[in-house]
Structure formats: C-alpha cells, structure tokens
Homo-oligomer: A and B are copies of this chain.
C-alpha cells in the first residue's frame, strides 16, 4: 500500500523531495477526511448538550490554560470577540465556565471551568483521545513522530507560536 514519498536525492547536504501533484493531492484529501473523523466523536457528544464546536474549542483551551483571559483565548482561537462572547456567555450561564474579574486588572476576565465544565471537558477529550490513541496505535511510533512533524510544519508561524507555548506550560 501507500505510495509513500517518491524520491529523495542528497545534493550537497540538502535533501530534495520530489513530490508529484498527485501525491500532494492525496495528502490534502487525507487531511480533509481525517479531520472529519477527528471531530466526529466530540460533535456527537456536543449535540446531546446543545453545543457546537465553538463551545468545544473554548472549553478545551480554558481547561488547557486555566485563568486565561478572554483576549488571550481570542488570539488562540482566531475568532472575533463577538463570536467568542456569544459562546462564552452560554457556557457561563449554563454554569460550565466561571469568569472571574481580574484582581490586578479588573477589566480582564479570567476563565475557569467549573466542576460540571470540567466533567464535560473530560467526556469530550476522552472521546477524542480514544480515537487518537487508536490511530496512533495502528500507525506506530515512527509514524506518530512523522505525523507531528508534518502537522507542525503545516501551521502558520504565528499560530505555531501558540501551539509551542501551550506545550511548554502544559508539561
């Protein structure tokens, strides 16, 4: 199976990869179809609770960086504050997220998951991790390392910074 990477030529220490349009197209389609699988399980759970992906993203990153400000979340998610606000308001009203007014700067709202917010986060990430774990197991450790490398290379540099920042603090 797999047409793999086509050819590699070493030339003065610089490796050249010859990639056909067809191979790249397959990669693009793989990305498209895999993303559908990636979101499928959380989507099902969210629907039961009357939420959408926007809520999931907010919950995920609040869990990941508790006490984050709205503005920080905004730059991670890459949406407008009006858009985020609508989602956040629903989560606060439903008691999944707590927005504490900053003590240093009272304009800021620091966001935390409540107990039930954490419970939903757990449920969502359990489902998503399970799919990820299965895929990782099926593909093997070498493939996983490659997977991560390609994904990181695919990010916009600015977004890559967010990603790396989450990693540092998250370990």
| Residues of A near any B CB (own CB < 8 A) | 2-6, 8, 15, 17, 19, 21-22, 24-38, 40, 57, 60, 64, 78, 125, 128-129, 131-156, 159-160, 162-163, 166-167, 170-171
Contacts and interface: CB of A to CB of B under 8 A. Distances in A.
Given A22-B170, A142-B146, A35 B33 contact: no
A28 B133 contact: no
A155 to B, nearest CB: 5
B129 A21 contact: yes
A1 to B, nearest CB: 9
A69 B44 CA distance: 29
Contact of A19 (B6, B29, B136, B154): B136
A33 B136 contact: no
Given A40-B156, A146-B144, A166 B22 contact: no
Contacts of A22: 170-171
Contacts of A36: 78, 155-156, 159
A132 B78 contact: no
Contact of A141 (B5, B24, B27, B128): B5
B31 A151 contact: yes
Nearest to A7: B141
A135 B154 contact: yes
